[in-house]
Amino acid sequence: MNELKASETRAIRGQMEQTQYREHSTPLFLTSSFTFPSAEAMADTFAGSGEGIIYSRYNNPSVDELVAKACALEGMPAGFATSSGMGAVFASLAALVRQGDHIVATRAVFGSTHQILTEILPRWGVSFTYVEPDRPDEWDAAVRPETKLFVTETPSNPGLRLVDLERAGRFCRSHGLLFIVDNCFATPHLQRPAEYGADLITHSATKWMDGQGRVLGGLLLGTEEVMDQVIFFCRHTGPAMSPFNAWVISKSLETLHVRMDAHCRSALLMAEWLREQPGIAAVHYPFLEDHPQYELARKQMRAGGGIVTFELAGGVAAAQRLLNNAVLCTRSSNLGDTRTILTHPATTTHSKLSPEERAAVGITDGLVRMSVGLEAPADIMADLARGL
Ligand SMILES: *Cc1c(COP(=O)(O)O)cnc(C)c1O
């Protein structure tokens, strides 16, 4: 498959080999374990030298197909699929740190990633320091002799702040840090951190990769050296993805490029339209020319992504009125679906943060996050107009 150049082609044609039935669409391998033709063949496989698959916590054909396609899309040689995006994020950290290590992370990482850094890893003697995503000049000051990892996410959720991946790559190389990127918001169709030297990429495949709000899934994609450690950790701690979910997501990757182009086209239209509407104090979208990191967005992203955020001048009341008046758009905390989703972070996903903590990551009382779906843009606009 690697001789196929275009990633779109790889995502469609990177299928596993046909079985004896010569099926066109890959079958689902819903089996926990695999068998061997002889005791010797079984011994060889366990010793690592023979053909064959042992057990679905390690490998499964449906999961392997998804991992191979995702590796091709991200330009990484090795991967592992997990039961959720957080399974992937946790494994990316826990597999690579030991007691006494320190992590530098950009502020405004995903909420559960923040919980892992602040509540879970410190129990095992692993500390962290937050740096500002858009102020790379200040990152050097956060590095200590025991710093092991740089963890980042771009664009951030829900602030849509970007991290300069080229700068981040140079920063990691100059300090000998492993460079880990959560590429969930952009997907490999819009942005490829491997081109900037990332060692490990994590995904919540639950979002744009499935793209239809059906299953949970996570992916870990990285260099051989890093994935050796990550795969060892995952095989023995058990966060493996269900073959069924892998089969669903693998099919979804065949249309990722078409869906993402349409989500991005619609999101840009929405952002431009929202700016003209009454009661809107600000609209944030990386491909709007007044986004403070517009030049960087154009440099490292193919398009602006499917998330638009906007601030209502009327605060909480105005935001809740917008959500309550929507009949087409859905009130949900998910994102990356064919259906447009509205979330009010201050009272839901980020309600546990103090007002000061929310302010530090740009979450005002009137901020609404919109995951732009694939409905006709005119219908989404009419729905929003009802509540504005
Ligand atoms: C949703 C999300 C996750 C967590 O993924 P789950 O599949 O919900 O576990 C991690 N990072 C980002 C950026 C996300 O949006």
Per the omega criterion (within 30 degrees of 0), is the bond before 158 cis?
yes
Ordered DSSP codes for 61-119:
HHHHHHHHHHHHHHT-SEEEEESSHHHHHHHHHHTT--TT-EEEEESS--HHHHHIIII
The residue contributing the CA closest to ligand 1 atom 8 is 85
Please report, as a single letter, which amino acid is at residue 213. G
Q: If you measure from the C-alpha of residue 24 to the centroid of ligand 1, how many angstroms do you get, rounded to a whole number?
A: 32
Q: What pLDDT score was predicted for residue 50?
A: 80
For residue 94, the CA-to-ligand 1 centroid distance in Å is 17
Ligand 1 atom closest to 184 (CA) = 13
Listed in sequence order, the residues at least 6 apart from 339 whose beta carbon sits closer than 8 Å to its beta carbon are 213, 329, 330, 373, 374, 375
Pairing, β 147-153 against β 178-182: parallel
Q: Is the CB of 204 under 6 A from ligand 1?
A: yes
* The two three-digit tokens of residue 196, written as one number: 């900037």
Strand 147-153 relative to strand 200-204: parallel, antiparallel, unpaired? unpaired
163 neighbors 195 (Cβ within 8 angstroms): no
Q: Is the CB of 196 under 6 A from ligand 1?
A: no
Q: Is the CB of 213 under 6 A from ligand 1?
A: no
The pLDDT score that the predictor gives to residue 4 is 59
Is the CB of 89 within 6 Å of ligand 1? yes
Ligand 1: does its nearest atom lie under 6 Å from the Cβ of 368? no
The values of phi and psi at residue 309, to 5°, are -120, 150
Q: Whose CA is nearest to atom 2 of ligand 1?
A: 204
Shortest CA distance to 11 belongs to which of 56, 54, 83, 74? 74
Answer for the pair 294, 287: CB distance below 8 angstroms, yes or no: yes
25 alpha carbon – ligand 1 mean position (Å): 28
Pocket test for ligand 1, best of 206, 209, 212, 248 (most atoms within 8 A of CB): 206
How do the domains of the chain map onto residue ranges?
A: 7-253, 256-387
Q: Is 377 in the pocket of ligand 1 (CB under 6 A)?
A: no
Q: Please, what's the b/e burial string for 260-282 (b: 16 or more CB within 10 A of its CB; e: otherwise)?
A: bebbbebbbbbbebbeeeeebeb
- Tell me the HSE value of 93 on the side-chain side, using a 13 A CA sphere: 31
Which of 358, 70, 12 shows the shortest CA–CA distance to 209?
70
Q: How far is CA 340 from CA 122, 154, 158, 270, 272, in A?
A: 37, 21, 15, 11, 17
> What is the whole-number distance in angstroms between the Cα of residue 201 and the centre of ligand 1?
13
Question: What is the radius of gyration, based on Cα positions, of the chain?
Answer: 21
Q: Which of 361, 363, 287, 358 is nearest to 105 (CA)?
A: 361
Task: Name the token pair of 257.
Answer: 């490029």
Read off the tokens for 181.
């990127």
The low-confidence residues of the chain, meaning pLDDT below 70, are: 1-4
**From the CB of 260, is ligand 1 less than 6 Å away?**
no
10-63 pLDDT per residue, tens:
899 988 899 999 999 999 999 999 999 999 999 999 998 888 899 999 999 999
218 lines ligand 1 (CB under 6 A): yes
Q: Give the residue, by CA position, lying nearest to ligand 1 atom 7.
A: 85
The reply to whether ligand 1 has any atom less than 6 angstroms from the CB of 153 is yes
Question: CB-based contacts of 121: which residues, under 8 Å, 6+ apart?
Answer: 93, 94, 97, 103, 127, 128
Q: Is 287 in the pocket of ligand 1 (CB under 6 A)?
A: no
Fold of the domain built from segment(s) 7-253: Aspartate Aminotransferase; domain 2 (3.40.640)
- Domain covering 256-387, topology: Aspartate Aminotransferase, domain 1 (3.90.1150)
Determine the distance separating the centroid of ligand 1 and the alpha carbon of 128, expressed in angstroms.
20
Contact between 65 and 26 (Cβ < 8 Å): yes
